[in-house]
Amino acid sequence: MLSVNAVAFLLLAVIAGAAGAQELPAHRQVETGSGTVELDGVISDQEYTLRHLTEAVAVYLVRLDEDTIQVAVEAAGEGWVSVGFGSEKMDGSRMLIGFVEDGEARFEEHLGSGWRHSLHEQPVVQGSAVSRSTPPGPDTPVTTMLEARLPAEAVEVNGRGEPFPIIYAVGPRPNFTARHRARGSQMLVLE
pLDDT > 50? residue 70: yes
Phi then psi for residue 62, to 5 deg, are: -150, 140
Q: What fold, for 4-188?
A: Immunoglobulin-like (2.60.40)
The pLDDT of residue 16 is above 70: no
pLDDT of residue 105: 95
pLDDT range class, residue 91, cuts 50, 70, 90: very high
pLDDT band at 43 (very low <50, low <70, confident <90, very high): confident
For residue 86, the Cα-to-chain-centroid distance in whole angstroms is 15
Question: What is the mean predicted confidence (pLDDT) over 1-19?
Answer: 33
Report the percent of the chain where pLDDT is more than 90: 61
Question: What confidence score (pLDDT) does residue 115 get?
Answer: 87
pLDDT for 4 beyond 80: no
Helix (H) or strand (E) holding 83: strand 81-85
Q: Residues 134-169, buried b or exposed e (16+ Cβ, 10 A)?
A: eeeeeebeebbbbbbbbebebbbbeeeeeebbbbbb
- The model scores a pTM over 0.85: no
Residue 24's pLDDT band (cuts 50, 70, 90) = very low
pLDDT, tens only, 144-165? 999 999 999 999 988 888 999 9
What is the helix (H) or strand (E) element at residue 5, kind and residue range? helix 4-8
Q: How many angstroms separate the Cα of 65 from the Cα of each of 18, 31, 47, 90, 93?
A: 27, 10, 14, 27, 23
